[in-house]
């Protein structure tokens, strides 16, 4: 029992209670397609249009992207190996036609995606996953569903047709996600080019 009336049960050294081994420092990471300014503006316009129909909360324009591979919380000690190990992918630039809006009721997300699959995008995701396996970097291996989250807490509603957003893809990025009071903020750590 101390003078303040608190009972201390753990060892004390220089006035500090030992709390066990420190947890390793991690960063929440994912690979993504990151839009240029013109594409970002077109996606943002589509989000505002969708908001008029389905309500919810529009995503900030600076957060719009397509996730390729989600890594989750990666120990900082592995990040250098990741940055050095992932190579440019030799599939060449390609265009995505984002022309389908949808709503997932389980998490109330309104999204924009593809009405037709993109073999080039599927090849990019698969090649990136293969490189990560070779580096022994863990990742979320669930089937890839390419989409851009435009709304959160959306009500959904009738099926809608939207003006397509055409996006020329010539590279991909590694992004760190930092959760703050006003939502997620993203830092692009590195860009890789698609090569022929």
pLDDT, mean of residues 189-194:
95
* Any domain includes 42: yes
In a domain, 16, yes or no: no
In a domain? residue 45 = yes
In a domain, 174, yes or no: yes
Does residue 171 lie in a domain region? yes
Taking the C-alpha atoms of residue 96 and residue 118, their distance in angstroms, rounded to an integer, is 7
In a domain, 21, yes or no: no
Q: What is the pLDDT of residue 46?
A: 98
In a domain, 14, yes or no: no
Query: Does the residue 13 lie in any domain?
Result: no
Q: Give the pLDDT confidence of 103-149 residue by residue, as tens digits.
A: 999 999 999 999 999 999 999 999 999 999 999 999 999 999 999 99
Active-site amino acid positions: 65, 147
CATH number for 176: 3.90.1140.10
What range does the domain containing 70 cover? 28-193
- Which pLDDT value is given to residue 85? 95
In this prediction, residue 174 carries a pLDDT of 97
- Based on the structure, what is the number of domains in the chain? 1
54-70: pLDDT as tens digits: 999 999 999 999 999 99
């Amino acid at each position: 029992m101390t003078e303040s009336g608190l009972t201390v049960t753990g060892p004390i050294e220089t006035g500090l209670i030992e709390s066990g081994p420190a947890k390793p420092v991690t960063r929440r990471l994912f690979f993504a397609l990151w839009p240029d300014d013109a594409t970002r503006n077109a996606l943002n316009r589509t989000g505002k249009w969708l908001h008029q129909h389905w309500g919810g909360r529009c995503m900030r324009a600076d957060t719009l992207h397509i996730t390729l591979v989600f890594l989750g919380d990666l120990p900082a000690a592995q990040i250098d190996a990741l940055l050095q190990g992932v190579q440019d992918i030799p599939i060449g630039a390609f265009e995505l036609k984002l022309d389908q809006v949808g709503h997932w009721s389980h998490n109330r997300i309104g999204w924009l995606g593809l009405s037709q699959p993109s073999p080039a995008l599927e090849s990019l995701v698969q090649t990136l996953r293969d490189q990560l396996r070779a580096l022994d970097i863990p990742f979320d291996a669930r089937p890839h569903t390419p989409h851009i989250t435009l709304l959160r807490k959306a009500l959904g509603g009738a099926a809608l047709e939207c003006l397509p957003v055409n996006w020329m893809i010539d590279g991909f990025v590694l992004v760190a996600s930092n959760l703050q009071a006003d939502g997620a903020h993203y830092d692009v750590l590195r860009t890789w080019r698609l090569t022929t």
